[in-house]
Chains A and B, each alone.
Chain A
Amino acid sequence: MLSFGHPLFLTGLLTAAVPIWLHLYFRRTPVPKDFPSLRLIRLSVDAVIRRLKLRNWLLLALRLAVLLLLVLALARPFVGGTFGNIAHTGSPSAFVVILDNSLSMGVTHQGISLYNSAKAKALEVLDQMGPYDKASVALLHDPGTLLFTQLSWDKNDLKEAVRNAPLSLSGTNLTGVLQAAVKLVAPVRSYKRTVYLITDLTRVAWKPLLDNGDLLARIDPGIELVLIPVGDGSPPNLAVAGLELEQPLVMKGRTAVLWATVANHSDRPRQTRLSILVAGDKKQDLPIDLEARSRKRVKVPITFPAEGVVDVAALLPADSLPEDDVRHLAVPVLAPPKILVVKPPPERDGSPSRDDIFLRFALNPLNRTEGATFLVESRLPEEAVSLRLADYTAVFLVNQRQLPAPFVDALAGFVLGGGYCVIFPGSRTDPEWYNSALLDALGGRYLLPARLFKRVGNAVSRNIAYQLTDLDTGHPAFSLFGAEGNGDPRRAQVWEFFQVQPNPGALVLARMSHGLPGLVEERRGQGKTLLVTFTADTAWTNWPLKPTFLPFLHQALAGMLGRRGLRGGSILPGAPVSLVVQEENLQKVTLLPPQGAGIELPIRREGEGLLHISTTRTEQTGFYRLVLTGKEGTRTEAFAVNPPPDESDLERIPARKIPRFTELSHRAGSATSLGQKVQEVREGRDVSGGLLWLLLVVALVETALANRPPAQRPGVTA
């Protein structure tokens, strides 16, 4: 906080000994004087001795102060400069200007753009850059950008970078950017190091940093952190804070429920209208009353007539921050998914397999071809070899003894590319072949989530009945049963099952009542495999007869389908989006952003026939299409990019509550420019003039006290 222009003058502080010496010297040499009687003098001394002592000490203090002030003034002190900086006044500066370009800076209040104000302040800070100073500029959005990874001497480049810095629609990564800025200036210890942070001080942005108080404390104390607030107060703001589907799957022609969340970030109740747009057409227009600082969830039922990915948007009238008044959701509207059941051969009497019957019934109870949730197709293994598995959503392997090698190979690729494989064993199941062909022989492309061992229990005698326990209600397959009244799979009985040993990466979704795994699932590439350790019919269990079996299968499939492809609406601006497909014939992938021309994306080929497509060109908010062009035609994936809901809360945190930072407030029209204030922070304020004035005052007081006026008071009279 204190530095000196001429520190050598500080040696003059030794002169402080002079008045002490004078004081002591003159105390020993009083002037002798004969006087008629000391009686009155003694009485007077007793009366004024305390006042005399006080005066003497005061006089000594004043004389010391005179000398100290003189020496300090000559040393030309600068106050308020770089805290703890070892560099003395006149050293060059190394600094980073952090410009907050997060979404909340997009506010336009009373005709003034907050972001433009911040840019102007950043330019003013850079204007103070001297010829030997070096600096960088960082942007505060999430994840943050260091525009100059090395400190630059080129003021014009830095200013140009500030002028061209775009407003991001993403959140604020204060911790990350601040750390990067500090890391940049930390090594240049011979410079005066400063980090200027120009921000709107939203509470939500600062909360992570302030909650982690150690971070600020760990910053090198030689680096000054200067806070330059922009904006004044928090303008009222309404925002669409959320838009989501109630169910994981939206089927063509069936009603889906959409939930829209509207937030009022102002201190007064507000009324507004929420519009729901489907593919750009307004479908609903809902009046909404909101209490102060509250949120409201609105339920909107919508029916999608055609399949494909649809842009659903929730829209509010534009206010001071228009970017958060609309939220998009990419809704994949599906035709009924096709399910392939690889069934066992018919019974010896020629009757169809009971496993197949139970599964088909569970997946399509009414056996409809129109309006069904799933279209089920049963094939023997040798028939399935010729099928194109990519046309199916899931493949069920039911009570199979062995499978043709080409089918196994195709099935492994199907799963890795995003397919779902469900394995039900049975009396025909040969554990050795399963372990060998579906686990060991496939290497990294294995299918079995667990190694099979012997069978446990006896389905013939049914002496011991096992039950499912430890259900993983966090999994989509069982989440439905976490709520009261939706049934309980644990009531089903299992008399016989395979003992299995799950793979290290597998999840046990349920266990048998004595602890052995009952259902095991493992993610494989973009897909999943699920192993049920007992039969799909009533041979080993009575679960297929229970009302919980059907919803279990439906939920497991829906959960799998819901996570296929691109996720609908949870992508933040600037965040990467990636997609893995298994399409050997894919030729071109084009990204169509909400505004502007399409961008062709590179296709990265990974092992096992998988293609990886990724992009970070997601700066805009809105609905994005990803057009995949192959030899066999094109198909479209889509996703939506939305602003972080937290950025809509414009409530500010008082600067005084932020430790470690020095606030540098500046209002338009004030007598001192921001540049001058920056200069004061950098160099400190030259207080030698003030010290000289103070010296004059102290000297006058000392003179008045020491050189007392001659006795003018008349003497004693009768």
Chain B
Amino acid sequence: MDKTRRLSRFLDPKVLASIASMEIRARSVVEGAIEGLHKSPFKGFNVEFAEYRSYVPGDPIKDIDWKVFARTDKYYIKEHEEETNLSGYLILDTSGSMSFRGESAFSKLEYAATLAASLAFLMLKQQDSVGLVTFAEGVRKIVRPKAGMGHLKGICRELEASEPGGATDIGETLDRVAETMRKRGLLIMFSDLMDSAEAIIAKARQLRTRRHEILLFHVLDRQELTFPFEDTILFRDLEDKSEIVADAYALRREYLRRLQQMVTTFQSALRRAGIDYLLADTSRPIEATLRQFFTRRMSGAARVA
């Protein structure tokens, strides 16, 4: 498989066409050396101070620094960095469970990798810097964030090289990522979250307290979401290879109840912590999932602004 074709697996022209007109807007303040397309939501709130200048008629009254006025009896406007460059990590779960492919075109890993590549392309196109972390029981590979479209190939190469296998340990992975990121940044995780929900939520909250922006794509196959089986089935675990025989029809209601409970727990707990959570159904078109993601991001940014 030549490089162009391998890359095209993840950079579906239809996907890129559908999101090329959108702008990714970061919701968090990210320090960056390169002014990009992102507007800082913290502008005027002394988050990133630039300078004072005298007030001129026409300036917004709300931008006047009233403390300086109290001391000097003069009107000064506090200037901030208006645009910042984004630095982020794409964190991809490559555990054995991600190899599951129901009746969808992609396995969960392929779907997640495609999503990651698409987002990497867009971020690089906006001159943001993007890195990649792959993990299973622990971190497997780390690609440091860089800007420039040339970096895309490196990321795609690593994505292609990812092979599913092993158990899932998200807590360990997030600890490693936190050590790696000295500055605040954007973390976008793609995983089926087959780990302890409490541990995942606790680690994510820790990262959030370090003011990292976190996005979580919960990647699940359609068969996982609907459990459409009818017969007595010998289920084999893709991670630890254990087996269990069960009447799938009889289990379905209870299974779906527990899964719904788990999704709701993630959704509510993560959103309370200010973490974006998106359930990605691998049977849906990737562009639809991305469009849903961007729509939510834009509406979230508008709400904050």
Chain A interface residues toward B at CB < 8 A: 26-27, 30-45, 47-48, 51-52, 55-56, 708, 710-711, 713-718
Chain A residues within an 8 Å CB radius of B194? 36-37, 39
The reply to whether B233 and A30 contact each other, CB–CB distance below 8 Å, is yes
Chain B interface residues toward A at CB < 8 A: 97-98, 100, 108, 192, 194, 218, 220-222, 224-239, 242-247, 249-256, 258-260, 262-263, 267, 277-279
**Residue in chain B with minimal CB distance to A708:** B249
The reply to whether A718 and B100 contact each other, CB–CB distance below 8 Å, is no
Which of B231, B242, B250 makes the CB contact (< 8 A) with A30? B231
Chain B residues within an 8 Å CB radius of A47? 254
12 other contacts beyond A30-B233, A34-B100, with CB at 8 A cut-off? A26-B232, A30-B245, A33-B233, A33-B234, A35-B237, A36-B224, A40-B259, A41-B255, A44-B254, A711-B228, A716-B260, A717-B263
The reply to whether A44 and B230 contact each other, CB–CB distance below 8 Å, is no
Which of B222, B235, B242, B250 makes the CB contact (< 8 A) with A52? B250
Chain B residues within an 8 Å CB radius of A52? 247, 250
* Residue from A32, A51, A708, A711 having most chain B Cβ neighbours under 10 A: A711
Query: With A38-B237, A38-B242, A40-B259 given, is the CB distance from A713 to B232 under 8 Å?
Result: no
Question: Can you list 24 residue pairs at the A/B interface with Cβ under 8 Å?
Answer: A26-B232, A30-B245, A35-B224, A36-B238, A37-B192, A37-B238, A38-B237, A38-B242, A39-B194, A40-B255, A41-B246, A41-B251, A41-B255, A42-B244, A44-B254, A45-B246, A47-B254, A48-B254, A52-B247, A711-B226, A711-B228, A716-B259, A717-B279, A718-B277
Chain A residues within an 8 Å CB radius of B231? 30-31
Query: With A32-B233, A33-B229, A33-B235 given, is the CB distance from A718 to B258 under 8 Å?
Result: no
Query: With A711-B228, A711-B252, A713-B253 given, is the CB distance from A36 to B244 under 8 Å?
Result: no
**Residue in chain B with minimal CB distance to A56:** B247
The reply to whether B279 and A718 contact each other, CB–CB distance below 8 Å, is yes
CB distance from B80 to the nearest CB of A (A): 36
CB distance from A36 to the nearest CB of B (A): 4
CB distance from B248 to the nearest CB of A (A): 8
Chain A residues within an 8 Å CB radius of B234? 30-33
* Bound: A55/B246 CA distance, A: 13
* Bound: A468/B194 CA distance, A: 119
**Residue in chain A with minimal CB distance to B236:** A34
Chain B residues within an 8 Å CB radius of A26? 232
* Bound: A39/B247 CA distance, A: 16
The reply to whether A44 and B229 contact each other, CB–CB distance below 8 Å, is no
CB distance from B256 to the nearest CB of A (A): 6
**Residue in chain A with minimal CB distance to B218:** A718
The reply to whether B278 and A718 contact each other, CB–CB distance below 8 Å, is yes
Which of B221, B232, B254, B262 makes the CB contact (< 8 A) with A31? B232
Chain B residues within an 8 Å CB radius of A710? 230
Query: With A30-B232, A47-B254, A52-B250 given, is the CB distance from A37 to B97 under 8 Å?
Result: yes
CB distance from A175 to the nearest CB of B (A): 65
CB distance from A34 to the nearest CB of B (A): 5
The reply to whether A31 and B259 contact each other, CB–CB distance below 8 Å, is no
* Bound: A492/B300 CA distance, A: 139
The reply to whether A37 and B237 contact each other, CB–CB distance below 8 Å, is yes
**Residue in chain B with minimal CB distance to A47:** B254
Chain B residues within an 8 Å CB radius of A713? 252-253, 256
Chain B residues within an 8 Å CB radius of A56? 247
CB distance from A30 to the nearest CB of B (A): 4
Chain A residues within an 8 Å CB radius of B259? 40, 716
Q: What are the 8 tightest A-B residue pairs by CB atom distance, in nearest-first order?
A: A715-B226, A718-B279, A36-B97, A715-B225, A44-B254, A37-B194, A36-B100, A30-B234
